[in-house]
Amino acid sequence: GGPGGPGHAPAGAIAPRPGFPACQPAREVRSMPLSPASPREPSNDSSAIAAPRRASSATSRSISPARRRERQDCCVRVVARFRPAVTEEDRPAFTVCPGGRAVETVDGSFHFDLDHVFAEDATQEAVYNYVGKPIVEDVLSGYNGTVFAYGQTGSGKTYAMFGPYAGTGPPEQQGIVPRATQEIFDHIAAGVDTEFTLHCSFLEVYREQMRDLLNPANQALRVKEMPQRGLLVDGLSREFVRCANEVLKVMRTGNRSRSVAATRQNQHSSR
């Protein structure tokens, strides 16, 4: 069709990806950030490394005493997720123990207790609801939050965090990052009295070197500590975003700049 017809996004909008609405520039998301910052920060400035500290109370919602106790008692949770085996692999080396909170080697020589274990048939939604959703709720209540994916090459980190195609695949396959992004913007859209400023940075640490994936030519990165904001990466680029699709656009830009090491296990290894 013609402009504005089928196959075209509204003028000024970003074409939506599966599961995400179009980004409408008419609604401005601005004002106070989630963490303390200068009201006129430049777009290319220091970016905070998340730490378990309280952010500005001006943007915090009330938290029930039970929720606060739960958060204090459980600052870090460790979860394991098993992915389906590929044809080149041998039989599984680990088994999931009854109750889904421990794994052990097949020969019984090692046993590991965890907060939760997801078996091979776990859905992306189930993983997000357990891992990502509580952290998003804390962030919207004024706390910093981190999801850290750890594992060898080919273990499924990228799929768990982003899903296929950097979060642009079918809605049911979207990973933690696109789901968390959409939930944050849904929360903003439902709000009346509170306004937010949201920005994204994309940092790679590879072979003990930091790289700004939104500006690969930027070599002037260094870590420093600020009294009110914790650890910062000085000089890291920032992209201000207004909707989930703009976040996905930033993700695609950063993914194109990642260091990729082709291995027998995975030709698109994440870093």
**Cα–Cα distance for residue pair 163/158, rounded to 1 Å:** 7
pLDDT score, position 9: 36
Give the pLDDT band (50/70/90) at residue 131: very high
User: What does each C-alpha distance from 22 to 68, 109, 110, 181, 245 come to in angstroms?
Assistant: 36, 52, 49, 14, 7
> pLDDT averaged over the chain?
74
Residues annotated in a binding site for ATP: 151-158
Residues annotated in a binding site: 151-158
**Is pLDDT above 70 for 198?**
yes
pLDDT score, position 194: 77
Instruction: Give the closest residue to 124 by CA, choosing from 84, 180, 189, 174.
Output: 174
The distance of Cα 22 from the centroid of its chain, to the nearest Å, equals 20
What are the tens digits of pLDDT across the range 12-62?
333 445 555 555 543 334 333 343 333 333 334 444 433 344 443 334 444
Query: 17 is written with which tokens?
Result: 């990806």
Contact partners, residue 155, CB within 8 Å, separation at least 6: 83
Between 7 and 112, residue with greater pLDDT = 112
Q: How much is the average pLDDT of 74-100? A: 81
pLDDT score, position 182: 94
Query: 101 is written with which tokens?
Result: 């909170």
**Burial status of residue 178 (CB atoms within 10 A of its CB: 0-12, 13-18, 19 or more):** buried
Edge-first strand listing for the sheet containing 47-48: 47-48, 230-234, 222-226
Give the pLDDT band (50/70/90) at residue 78: very high
Query: 102 is written with which tokens?
Result: 């421990």
Q: How much is the average pLDDT of 117-145? A: 93
Between 105 and 70, residue with greater pLDDT = 105
Residue 97's beta-bridge partner residues?
Answer: none
**Cα–Cα distance for residue pair 226/243, rounded to 1 Å:** 29
What are the tens digits of pLDDT across the range 144-173?
899 999 998 888 998 999 888 765 678 899
Query: 182 is written with which tokens?
Result: 């959409």
Measured over all CA atoms, what is the biggest interatomic distance in the chain, rounded to whole angstroms?
66
**Is pLDDT above 70 for 219?**
yes
Supply the pTM of this predicted model.
Answer: 0.69
